[in-house]
Chain A
């Protein structure tokens, strides 16, 4: 496997570990784009999903719109915003947020809807108001699916944040696009290896959080 020995050699060079084009800095930039986009997407999609699930209004529309939004090519959204507003952080964040919203929204909505009717009725029978039912009953029961949505979105964003480098920003995509432009094969493969590691790490982190939550709720 030539690609792995090539990447191994690339990782071993000291200049890869310092300065603005060093791995630590590129990794931090990548994580910055990723976490900012995930936060914004969650702040939009979770409340909206909870509300639509709770009121059961507009659910059909939102699910169908979200499925259509999944077909939006991220590269297209990115270059569209770049062309409209110029190069900067904004196009990257917009493209990644658009990418992440459907999975969070649809899962949050489905999470609230799958709460058994009897449970909601029981909560109401105990005298809970709408808001209390939503916060104390529906939201906790929807949590596993909300987490699934966040996990899917996080992995999509981590994988896709490489496109930031395509429009002149930093992040791990720098190695890939600079590597392509300069025909620098080791950097290209090395960058791809780090992105894969980060995506798998993200998946692993969510699995760990889930089993931690499961352990705590079982202990109670």
Chain B
């Protein structure tokens, strides 16, 4: 470990960290925006869910490196090349969790809401989605952590936030940037994961013991 080098490059690490986040976070948001309505529709129409499930598990199996390359044709070397495939992965994980979460709402709760005069939309927004939230957030955690680690793969084709430290370290046979890259990626993932757990606690105060 070359500490003086680390201290000299703190600003550079900060830039890479921001670049990494700019590629890892938007896919989670886009994925959620698509997965929520899609999941709600799938929970309502099981036949649609069959099709969506088959499609998303096939999409999830696609290698990220291959997807990055297919994207190059459409987007060139921009961060969209990384963001679009990661959105697909996030979506594939989340749809399943949204449906599982909604299906986990007890029938008695649903009936009570109907009896209290809740319409379909209000019931969804105020009763069903909040109850499904822990399962949805569990999916968000998986997607976020894997996105953060997948962004580094982008470095192999020329961009990828903290992944640059890996390609740089390999070319110079220099261990320090590689270690810094690994540690920062893992720490970033753990921080993001902790933030999601805290968000869940904040949003579902009733589940606190």
Contact = CB atoms under 8 A, between A and B. Distances in A.
B137 to A, nearest CB: 14
B62 A73 contact: no
B63 A199 contact: yes
B127 interface: no
Contacts of A72: 149, 182, 185-186
Report whether over half of chain B's contact residues are helix, strand or loop; otherwise say mixed: helix
Contact of B173 (A74, A83, A191): A83
Given A68-B190, A80-B179, A73 B146 contact: no
A73 B61 contact: no
Interface stretch (A19-27, A50-58, A113-121, A157-165): A157-165
Contacts of A177: 156
B202 interface: no
B62 to A, nearest CB: 6
B48 interface: no
A192 B189 contact: no
Interface size class of A (residues with CB under 8 A): 35 or more
Contacts of B166: 73, 75-76, 78-79
Contacts of B60: 155
Nearest to B141: A67
A71 interface: yes
Contacts, number: 123
A2 interface: yes
Report whether over half of chain A's contact residues are helix, strand or loop; otherwise say mixed: helix
Interface size class of B (residues with CB under 8 A): 35 or more
Interface pairs A-B: 4 shortest CB-CB: A159-B63, A71-B189, A192-B66, A73-B152
Interface of B: 57-58, 60-66, 69-70, 73, 145-146, 148-149, 152-153, 155-158, 162-163, 165-167, 169-170, 173-175, 178-179, 181-182, 185-186, 188-190, 193
25 contacts: A3-B70, A72-B149, A72-B182, A72-B185, A73-B166, A73-B182, A75-B155, A75-B163, A79-B167, A79-B169, A80-B175, A159-B61, A159-B65, A163-B153, A166-B156, A176-B65, A180-B158, A192-B63, A193-B66, A195-B65, A195-B66, A196-B62, A196-B66, A200-B58, A203-B57
